[in-house]
């Protein structure tokens, strides 16, 4: 069961195409992991500053919020414990970069981060605002960030990477599925009330967010007068969230689901007073297409595309690599693979779930008319 063949070759894809994909997966993961380490280092500095603020609070109101926390941090940590632990975690981060093969260093960093995270969230509520940082360190703790030299190893590694991405994206999918279920329930059982597709949904939702913070919303309330826009955005957001997990396996979509969820967080910060900062930052550094922007660094291993051919009559697209290997696609796949070479950034849109289905349906009706 472990050899599950997800991320399989597409029809028409050559061995070389697969090799290049695995190489850029490993490359992206290497730089992503490095950036996550830097973000984590910043997170530790932030916690160090936070400690000073939280020591001001009465010790009596501190209390662990879940089973991990009761185990890890039953009471407010003393200064001589807290700062040395921060320093040890920072050292662990550095060592895990220097010695990427040693997985127990990564496990140690994860446990340390769990401990540090318990500290801020022991005052009546356990927030999930730092969840992506923690999930990333959790799911990637057995991975070596270095790029393997062996072709087969690279393929296995890129499946491991996809699993880490899946673990991150699936949190958004779950959140989206809950909203979808909530919406369906409201439409079926209580059709009169405000559900997510009601024209006033965004307004009342924002109103509560602003009121929770005792902030005046009248200055921006005009944005909720724009007709249809918010309902449309709810549908876009539902789609992006529910299908986020697909981004783990469909490479051109990683960037787009990353961007989509970042925009979702930014929207929440501006319009609903729900402030998640670490999560969008993590999405940015984890899903940033490093290989695309740092082609020069990809190295000699990368096998360049020598030539491409598009045959309009038969609707086929062929890619010829420097080593003589060929990819050959037909139909809609030919068109989107061609766009992937010409406009690698925007081509991702053609890989969203459902697009191929609609395209094949449109293709069939247009040929039947002809």
Partner 1 sequence: MTIKQRYIATATLVIVSLVGSVCSFFTINAGKKEVYPFYYWKLYSQPAGWELTHSGYRIYATNDVTAWNRIPNYGRATFDRDETLYFLNPIANAIEEGNVTDEDLTKLKIWCGYLVPEFEHHKIVKETFNPREIIDQPEKFLTEDVYVVD
| Region 173-202 residues binding partner 1, contact defined as CB under 8 A | 174-175, 178-179, 181-182, 186, 193-196, 198, 200-202
Nearest distance from C-beta of residue 48 to partner 1, angstroms: 15
Find out whether 326 and 17 touch, Cβ atoms under 8 Å: no
Site membership for partner 1, residue 61 (CB under 8 A): yes
Query: Rule CB under 8 A: which of 82-121 touch partner 1?
Result: 101, 103
Site membership for partner 1, residue 68 (CB under 8 A): yes
Nearest distance from C-beta of residue 125 to partner 1, angstroms: 3
DSSP string, 259-288: HHHHHHHHHIIIII-----HHHHHHHHHH-
DSSP 250: -
Nearest distance from C-beta of residue 37 to partner 1, angstroms: 18
Q: Residue for token digits 């009601």?
A: 198
Dihedral sign for Cα atoms in the order 213, 257, 31, 86 = positive
The contacts found for 65-74 with CB under 8 angstroms, 24 or more apart, are 65/121, 65/122, 65/124, 65/125, 65/126, 66/126, 68/114, 68/118, 69/118, 69/121, 69/122, 69/126, 72/114, 72/115, 72/118, 73/115, 73/118, 73/119, 73/122
Site membership for partner 1, residue 128 (CB under 8 A): yes
Name which of 104, 154, 136 is nearest 284 in CA terms.
136
Number of residues counted as binding partner 1 (CB under 8 A): 75
Give whichever of 243 and 317 is closer to partner 1, judged by the CB atom. 243
Q: Which one among 15, 203, 267, 302 touches partner 1, defined by CB under 8 A?
A: 203
Nearest distance from C-beta of residue 33 to partner 1, angstroms: 13
Q: How many residues does the chain have?
A: 370
Query: Rule CB under 8 A: which of 215-234 touch partner 1?
Result: 216-218, 221
Give whichever of 53 and 366 is closer to partner 1, judged by the CB atom. 53
Q: Which one among 49, 53, 149, 313 touches partner 1, defined by CB under 8 A?
A: 53
Nearest distance from C-beta of residue 362 to partner 1, angstroms: 34
Which residues, listed in sequence order, are joined to residue 328 by a DSSP beta bridge?
318
| Residue 45 φ/ψ, nearest 5 degrees | -60, -45
Nearest distance from C-beta of residue 82 to partner 1, angstroms: 16
Q: Which one among 49, 125, 192, 300 touches partner 1, defined by CB under 8 A?
A: 125
Q: Which one among 41, 85, 100, 131 touches partner 1, defined by CB under 8 A?
A: 131
Site membership for partner 1, residue 56 (CB under 8 A): yes
Find out whether 22 and 155 touch, Cβ atoms under 8 Å: yes
**What radius of gyration, in Å, describes the C-alpha atoms of the chain?**
24
Give whichever of 181 and 322 is closer to partner 1, judged by the CB atom. 181
Site membership for partner 1, residue 209 (CB under 8 A): yes
Query: Rule CB under 8 A: which of 133-162 touch partner 1?
Result: 134-135, 138-144, 148, 153, 156-157, 159-160
SS (H, E, C) 65-123: CCHHHHHHCCCCCCHHHHHHHHHHHHHHHHHHHHCCCCHHHHHHHHHHHHHHHHHHCCE
Nearest distance from C-beta of residue 12 to partner 1, angstroms: 27
Q: Which one among 10, 99, 211, 297 touches partner 1, defined by CB under 8 A?
A: 211
Give whichever of 121 and 317 is closer to partner 1, judged by the CB atom. 121
Nearest distance from C-beta of residue 290 to partner 1, angstroms: 20
CA distance 213 to 321: 58
């Amino acid at each position: 069961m472990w050899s599950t063949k997800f991320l399989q070759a597409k029809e028409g894809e050559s061995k070389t195409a697969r090799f290049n994909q695995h190489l850029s997966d490993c490359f992206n993961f290497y730089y992503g992991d490095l950036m996550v380490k830097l973000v984590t280092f910043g997170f530790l500095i932030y916690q160090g500053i936070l400690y000073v603020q939280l020591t001001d609070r009465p010790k009596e109101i501190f209390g662990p919020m879940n089973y991990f926390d009761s185990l890890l941090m039953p009471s407010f940590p003393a200064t001589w414990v807290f700062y040395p632990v921060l320093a040890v975690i920072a050292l662990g981060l550095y060592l895990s970069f220097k010695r990427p093969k040693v997985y127990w260093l990564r496990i140690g960093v994860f446990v340390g981060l769990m401990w540090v995270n318990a500290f801020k969230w022991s005052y009546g509520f356990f927030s999930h605002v730092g969840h992506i940082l923690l999930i990333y360190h959790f799911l990637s703790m057995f991975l070596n960030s270095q790029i393997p030299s062996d072709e087969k190893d690279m393929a296995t590694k890129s499946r491991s990477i996809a699993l880490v991405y899946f673990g991150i994206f699936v949190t958004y999918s779950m959140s989206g599925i809950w909203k979808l279920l909530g919406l369906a329930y409201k439409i079926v059982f209580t059709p009169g009330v405000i559900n997510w597709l009601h024209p006033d949904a965004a307004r009342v939702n924002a109103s509560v967010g602003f009121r929770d913070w005792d902030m005046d919303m009248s200055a921006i309330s005009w944005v909720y007068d724009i007709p249809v826009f918010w309902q449309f955005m709810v549908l876009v957001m539902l789609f992006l969230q529910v299908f986020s997990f697909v981004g783990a396996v469909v490479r051109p979509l990683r960037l787009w689901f990353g961007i989509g969820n970042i925009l979702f967080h930014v929207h929440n910060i501006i319009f609903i007073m729900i402030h998640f900062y670490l999560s969008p930052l993590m999405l940015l550094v984890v899903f940033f297409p490093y290989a695309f922007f740092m082609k020069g660094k990809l190295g000699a291993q990368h096998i360049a595309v020598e030539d491409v051919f598009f045959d309009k009559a038969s609707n086929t697209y062929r890619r010829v690599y420097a080593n003589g290997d060929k990819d050959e696609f037909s139909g809609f796949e030919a068109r989107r693979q061609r766009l992937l070479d010409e406009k690698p950034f925007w081509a991702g849109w053609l890989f969203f779930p459902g697009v191929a289905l609609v395209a094949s349906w449109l293709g069939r009706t247009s040929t039947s008319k002809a």
